Chains A and B, each alone.
Chain A
């Protein structure tokens, strides 16, 4: 298995532009998490899904952020409009695989976002 695949790996955009980050989770893992990591705040949970249904989005900072999981093999995190304070590394992570268990998060390589 290729693991959790995220794209783009790097994104540089200007304030006010729409940003879409993509995630392909591991097949058979029922849970998908979106995290944001910054030096100041560390790793923050934004939202997580179970079987494509959003379970907890209390970490989504504002209405500018939205996440979808239209099927088991794809999820997006969208920021519209983007602001400089959104600059961070965004991670997608999967859990719940039969071999890995309920409490094992497998992270993607991350999408590094810079908003100018």
Chain B
């Protein structure tokens, strides 16, 4: 079983829709949870960063962590065509530790 599981998609939604992206994981020791966005032919860039459980909001983006279910989510409100990218979840046990990435979900927001 992989450490981190993520549905590869693709996920296609109309502009303005609410998008929900999810990852599950098996290692209960994970404490740090991140979402990266990767545009085509570019390197991943950090979008959201959360420590332990709870929610974090940044503009149209909300990250949720449910450690009891070993499940994390990224919500995108009022999705825009510029949000079209691959979204990768990542997690680690502690500071300066190995990062475990999901395989990425490809999102397409249609105008």
| Chain A residues near B (Cβ < 8 Å) | 4, 31, 33, 42-43, 45, 48, 50, 56, 91, 93, 95-96, 101-110
Contact = CB atoms under 8 A, between A and B. Distances in A.
Nearest to A48: B98
A110 to B, nearest CB: 5
B73 interface: no
B96 A42 contact: no
B44 A107 contact: yes
A101 B102 CA distance: 21
Contacts of A106: 45-46
Interface of B: 32, 34, 36, 41-46, 49, 88, 90, 92, 95-96, 98-99, 101-104
Nearest to A103: B32
A83 to B, nearest CB: 23
B42 A105 contact: no
Given A50-B96, A103-B99, 19 more contacts: A33-B99, A42-B88, A42-B101, A42-B103, A43-B44, A43-B103, A45-B98, A95-B96, A101-B49, A103-B92, A103-B95, A104-B46, A104-B49, A105-B34, A105-B46, A105-B99, A106-B45, A110-B42, A110-B43
